[in-house]
Amino acid sequence: MRQSKLFGKTEKTDRVDVSSISHRLLVKGGFIRESVAGRYYFLPLGLRVHQKITNIIKEEMDKAGAQEMVSPILHPLELWQESNRDNAGNFGLMMIEDRRGGKFALGGTAEEMFVDVVRKFQISYKDLPFNIYQFSNKFRDELRARGGLLRVREFVMKDAYSFDRDENDFLHTYKLMSETYENIFSRMGLKANKVLADNGYIGGEYCHEYIVDCEAGESAYLVSEDESYKAHEDVAQVELPHCNPDEPIRDMQTIEQPEWVKDMADNQKHYGEPLWRYLKNVVYKRIDTGEIIIVTIRGDLEVNKAKLEKLVGAIELLEPATDDDLRSIGTKPGFVHAWGLQATYVADNSLKTVTNFIGGQKTESTDTTFVNYGRDFSHPIEADVVLAKPGQINSDVKKISLRRGIEVGNIFQLGTHYTDKMQGATFRDKDGQMKPFYMGCYGIGVGRAMATVVELYNDEKGIKWPESIAPFAVHLVSLQNDDPEIKDWADGLYSTLVSRGVDVLYDDRELRAGEKFADSDLLGIPIRIVAGRKAKEQKKYEVVYRSSGELFYWSEEELLNNLLGG
């Protein structure tokens, strides 16, 4: 490809509105352009990378015996009603009606569609297992898009759905997909951690996320030093030791408290006690029913919303309560009581680790102290809803640390979560009985994987693509090509490379050398060959490897031998 003809240009300056390294470099290098927030054009260079990733995923999926097919993007809403997923809450399901009154969801994930196509066939146990997958556009009505391709509203996802006879068979499939994912990510240069995670809106009993460590990521997980334990903060269970086991229990008292004491910091200032000593109330509202939920928790801890949503059966349905919500139950910010309000109360397990709490019934001038959970108040729901931190994890697992990263894929056990709900999603087993399929599903967002590679492979000058997914293998940069003799000669080398099957981008533009090199570094093609007067005269090409910075001077013969692995 001649760069003079390439649609999409590099930019000299950084955009101010970019929010991650990959966003900045992909836009600057002419790989992508934003349409509106969270929706991107893939320009020719960007699409080449996208397609190379797609090919890697396809090769590895096929190698694992999975079969590619494709479902419509508009999903009949009645299917989502069958699985009770049409009330999607904050999952961001978009819906549309056609002019004949047909209602559809824009595919966000496609469990129902794949179950629906499978149940159109008479399947026997002999046909099992199978694993079918697609690459297709997915839509998420995200409230907040960010980081360029890291969190978008429209993207291509590979989503696979496996159908097994029972749990035992499924475990083989799950393991196979796990190995397949490791191969996929490793081929594109990513070390992805398999992390136990929350299945949220998808359902099923367990799942794992593949997380690439990276500061730009939104996923936090806890990991042991030997990496045998990896759990997302949404599922990591904590074990909290008692804070003051030796303190004698005292009688609850109502005490005077100045009006300015409102939040945890005020409490600390006023009482001089550590944060764990105070009762904290965190208030949520269910967006579907309006129900108010108050979590009472130790003052030094945070609530993990995902744990809470799962606990109360409100996946993607909780939002922080607003001041108006508090007023609706007769209170206001800073004055939420730990008991007695018209709300659903949840007690975090941490309430059992403190003797003599301060707080719980704050008024304008008083509060309670020496409050003890179980004696002075107790809640109908008790559970671990803590946002886990390294120090709180099970003491058997040593040296836990917290890492941040980008979720580049996930695998889910679904079991019969869908096939129990959707009628006729069954196969005829050996004993003649009709049984529900035992399912799993497996997703990878292609654009996010691409951005993740850029987050990891870059320097101050630009991208350093791994060979496997680089838009081109070789960047041939001609210099002094306003001189027809040199131009012809460089054109000749380009033709030779093309005819030998080298995947080459040829910078034949008439620009200063500095500009061309800057663009070349920015684009990040793995090998740069310089063809100018010097190379012509000396019959040696300067060859630079973008990643390592290694520099060689090669004759044409050496060049071809090295490029073609001859």
Query: What are the strands, taking DSSP E only, across 198-348?
Result: 207-213, 219-223, 230-232, 253-256, 279-286, 292-298, 318-320, 344-348
Kindly state whether residue 139 participates in binding a second copy, applying the rule CB under 8 A.
Answer: yes
Shortest reach from residue 107's CB to a second copy, in Å: 10
Q: Is 196 in the site for a second copy (CB under 8 A)?
A: no
Q: Contact at 8 Å (CB) between 188 and 454?
A: no
- Residues with Cβ within 8 Å of residue 410, at least 6 apart in sequence: 197, 207, 208, 209, 210, 442, 443
Among 70, 249, 255, 434, binds a second copy (CB under 8 A): 70
- Which of 37/249 has CB closer to a second copy? 37
219-241 burial: b if 16+ Cβ within 10 Å, else e: bbbbbbeeeebbbbbbbbebebe
**Residue of 25, 53, 113, 295 that binds a second copy (CB under 8 A):** 113
In this structure, are strands 541-545 and 504-507 parallel, antiparallel, or unpaired?
unpaired
In whole angstroms, give the CA distance from residue 474 to residue 429. 54
Give the DSSP H/E element, type plus range, for residue 193.
Answer: strand 192-197
Of the residues 102, 330, 333, 501, which one makes contact with a second copy according to CB under 8 A: 102
Phi, psi of 296 (to 5 degrees): -100, 130
Decide if residue 148 touches a second copy (CB under 8 A): no
The minimum distance between CB 29 and a second copy, in angstroms, equals 13
Residue type, 195: V
Structure tokens at 460: 């101050």
Residue 73 touches a second copy, criterion: CB under 8 A: yes
Minimum separation from the CB atom of position 106 to a second copy (A): 7
DSSP E strands in 247-326: the ranges are 253-256, 279-286, 292-298, 318-320
Whichever of 31 and 181 has its CB closer to a second copy, that residue is 31
Give the start-end residues of each E strand in 259-323: 279-286, 292-298, 318-320
- For the bound state, the minimum distance from the C-beta of residue 141 to a second copy, rounded and expressed in Å, comes to 5
> Which stretch, 120-128, 173-181, 217-225, 376-384, contacts a second copy (CB under 8 A)?
120-128
Residues 3-22 that bind a second copy (CB under 8 A): 4-9
The pair of three-digit structure tokens given for residue 339, joined into one six-digit string: 């008991």
d(CA 424, CA 76) in angstroms, rounded, equals: 17
Beta carbon nearer to a second copy, 320 or 330: 320
Residue reference for tokens 């949220």: 200
CB of 271: closest distance to a second copy in angstroms?
43
Q: Which is nearer to a second copy, 100 or 430 (CB)?
A: 100
> Which string of x and - marks every residue 416-445 that binds a second copy (by CB under 8 A)?
------------------------------
Phi-psi region of 263 (alpha: psi -120 to 50; beta: other; left: phi over 0): beta
Residue 41 dihedral angles phi and psi, to the nearest 5°: -80, 140
Q: Which stretch binds a second copy (CB under 8 A): 13-21, 38-46, 346-354, 438-446?
A: 38-46
Q: Out of 16, 98, 248, 537, name the contact with a second copy by CB under 8 A.
A: 98
If one asks whether residue 399 binds a second copy (CB under 8 A), the answer comes out as: no
HEC string for 1-28: CEHHHCCCCCCCCCCCCCCCHHHHHHHH
Bridge partners of 344, per DSSP, are 293
Contact between 41 and a second copy (CB under 8 A)? yes
Using CA of residue 557, residue 562, residue 565, residue 566, what is the dihedral sign?
positive
Nearest CB to a second copy, comparing residues 240 and 449: 449
Measured from the CB atom, the residue of 64 and 338 that comes closer to a second copy is 64
Choose which of 55, 96, 274, 323 interacts with a second copy (CB under 8 A). Answer: 96
| Residues in binding contact with a second copy, number by CB under 8 A | 54
Region binding a second copy by CB under 8 A among candidate stretches 33-41, 210-218, 277-285, 521-529: 33-41
The single residue among 67, 365, 538, 555 that binds a second copy, judged by CB under 8 A, is 67
Instruction: For a second copy, give the closer residue by CB, 62 or 251.
Output: 62
Summarize as ranges the residues that interact with a second copy (CB under 8 A). 4-9, 33, 35-36, 39-44, 46-47, 50, 65, 67-76, 92, 94-96, 98-100, 102, 106, 113, 116-117, 120-122, 126, 130, 132, 136-137, 139, 141, 143, 153-154
